[in-house]
Amino acid sequence: DELIFSTISPDYCSPDVSVGSVGTEGRVCDVDSTGTKGCRSMCCGRGYTVEVQEVKYRLVDWCECKYHWCCYVKCRTCLKSIQVYRCR
């Protein structure tokens, strides 16, 4: 028993409007993932770029919090640098 394909599988790495694919160029990927969201798989061997972005944070990582008498804590909204990876 053999499986035979009658059509060629679309290349989702490159844009192809006939199959509704926008390609993967410019898409954000996960540099640490070995799955389909990982840069190695998603970027189709083209590599990726790294950009540093400043993001505001407050509740996830408490930032410069102060206790005020009586009785509340006030925190600042701070900036944090993160690295974003995008397919070439």
Report the distance separating Cα 31 and Cα 86, nearest Å: 9
CATH topology of domain 28-87: Endo-n-acetylneuraminidase fold (3.30.2460)
Secondary structure (3-state) at 74: strand
For strand 48-57 and strand 78-87, is the pairing parallel, antiparallel, or unpaired?
antiparallel
pTM: 0.66
Looking at residue 60, its pLDDT comes to 55
Which is nearest to 86 in space by CA: 33, 24, 35? 24
User: What confidence tens digit (pLDDT) does each residue in 10-65 have?
Assistant: 788 999 888 888 999 999 999 999 999 999 999 999 999 999 988 876 555 677 88
Q: Kindly indicate the confidence band of residue 86, based on its pLDDT and cuts at 50, 70 and 90.
A: very high
Would you list the domain boundaries of the chain?
28-87
Omega before 43 within 30 of 0, i.e. cis: no
